[in-house]
Structure formats: C-alpha cells, structure tokens
C-alpha cells in the first residue's frame, strides 16, 4: 500500500493579494494493489479557504479560489486521476493552480500517491 498523509496544512500565499488563507487540518491518500488490480481513495478534514467540492467528487473537479470581489486567484483541482491503462493508478487529492490575477506562478500539489499491480 502507498499512502500520503498530512496534518495542519496552511497556504498563505494568496492573503497578500486579498485572497483567503487555505487550510486543511488532515488529509490522507491511499493506493493499494493486488496481482490483478489497483484501488485508490482520499479523504480530508477541516478545510477552509476553498469552497467544498460535491460528494462524491467528480474526477478533475475545479473549485475557484476567489478574492472577496469575485476575482479568481487560483483554481483548486480535486481528484486528479492518472490511469495509463496498464492497471496502475496515480491519484492526486488536490492541486492548487495559481492564475495570473494572483501574481504568483506555479502550483501546489497536496496528497499524491500511485501504485501498480504486483505480480
């Protein structure tokens, strides 16, 4: 089994441009494999600064992170799956993509794991 866990994550990069402070008190991403298949799942708790995604969370669900005036500073992309077709799986719980309005470039990846069938 492959597991990624975290506690007390906090991202303050958007605060200086009027955006929210993003927090997650806990997160876990797990990937398990047998000889013939793989399965993966994730969970989180205590999230603030990002609108909650629906349940269940669709693959690649985007939740905009905005200033109080509605300007989108970044996109929070949940449930990113990589399924190459060989039975393996890669799963990212959350990726924050900064947009030009934030004045920040790049992304933050939170909770990623992968696994392959084990002969």
pLDDT tens column, 5-55: 999 999 999 999 999 999 999 999 999 998 888 999 999 999 999 999 999
Location of structure tokens 């402070």: 21
Is 108 strand, coil or helix?
strand
Domain count of the chain? 1
Percent of the chain with pLDDT over 70: 100
Segments forming the whole domain that contains residue 43? 2-115
What's residue 76's pLDDT?
A: 98
Q: Name residues whose C-beta falls within 8 Å of residue 118's C-beta, 6 or more positions apart in sequence.
A: 33, 34, 35
Q: Is 99 a residue whose pLDDT tops 80?
A: yes
What's residue 1's pLDDT?
A: 83
**pTM, full prediction:** 0.92
């Amino acid at each position: 089994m492959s597991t990624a866990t975290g506690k007390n994550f906090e991202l303050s990069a958007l605060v200086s441009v009027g955006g929210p402070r993003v927090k997650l008190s806990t997160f876990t991403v797990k990937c398990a494999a047998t000889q013939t298949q793989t399965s993966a799942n994730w969970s989180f708790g205590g999230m603030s600064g990002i609108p909650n995604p629906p349940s269940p969370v669709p693959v690649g669900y985007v939740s905009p992170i905005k200033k109080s005036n509605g300007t989108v500073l970044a996109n929070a992309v949940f449930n990113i799956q990589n399924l190459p077709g060989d039975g393996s799986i890669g799963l990212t719980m959350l990726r924050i993509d900064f947009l030009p309005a934030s004045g920040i470039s790049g992304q933050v990846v939170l909770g990623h794991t992968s696994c392959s069938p084990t002969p």
